[in-house]
Amino acid sequence: MIMPALWLWVGGLAATMAVLGLRAAWSRQHRSTTANALCWGFMGLALAIGWAAAGAWGMAVVSLAGTACAFILLAQAAITAPTGKASASTRRAHMLPEKGEALHLWRRIATFLLCVPVALAVALLLALAARAIASAAGWGEADSNVLTLFLMPLCWALLLFALLMTQGRRAQARVLAALASIPILILLLERLA
Near other proteins in 3-22, by CB under 8 A:
4, 22
Q: Which of 41, 104, 161, 185 binds other proteins (CB under 8 A)?
A: 161
Residue with Cβ nearer other proteins (157 or 178): 157
Q: Which of 6, 158, 178, 182 binds other proteins (CB under 8 A)?
A: 158
Does an H or E element contain 93, and which? none
DSSP 9-26: HHHHHHHHHHHHHHHHHH
Residue with Cβ nearer other proteins (26 or 177): 26
Q: Which of 34, 94, 102, 106 binds other proteins (CB under 8 A)?
A: 94
3-class state of residue 88 by DSSP: coil
Q: Which residues, 101 to 140, sit near other proteins by CB under 8 A?
A: 111-112, 116, 120, 124, 127-128, 131-132, 135, 140
Residue with Cβ nearer other proteins (91 or 170): 91
Q: How far is the CB of 50 from other proteins (least distance, A)?
A: 11
Does residue number 90 form part of the binding site for other proteins (CB under 8 A)?
Answer: yes
Q: How far is the CB of 153 from other proteins (least distance, A)?
A: 3
| Rg value, the chain, Cα | 24
Stretch that binds other proteins, among 10-18, 69-77, 172-180 (CB under 8 A): 69-77
Distances in Å between the Cα of 71 and the Cα atoms of 10, 25, 39, 46, 64 are: 20, 17, 17, 18, 10
C-alpha torsion sign, points 24, 29, 35, 37:
positive
Residue with Cβ nearer other proteins (68 or 178): 68
Q: Check if the beta carbon of residue 7 is closer than 8 Å to that of residue 61.
A: no
Stretch that binds other proteins, among 10-18, 70-78, 173-181 (CB under 8 A): 70-78
Distances in Å between the Cα of 41 and the Cα atoms of 26, 45, 53, 118 are: 15, 6, 18, 40
Of 70, 81, 85, the closest CA to residue 20 belongs to 70
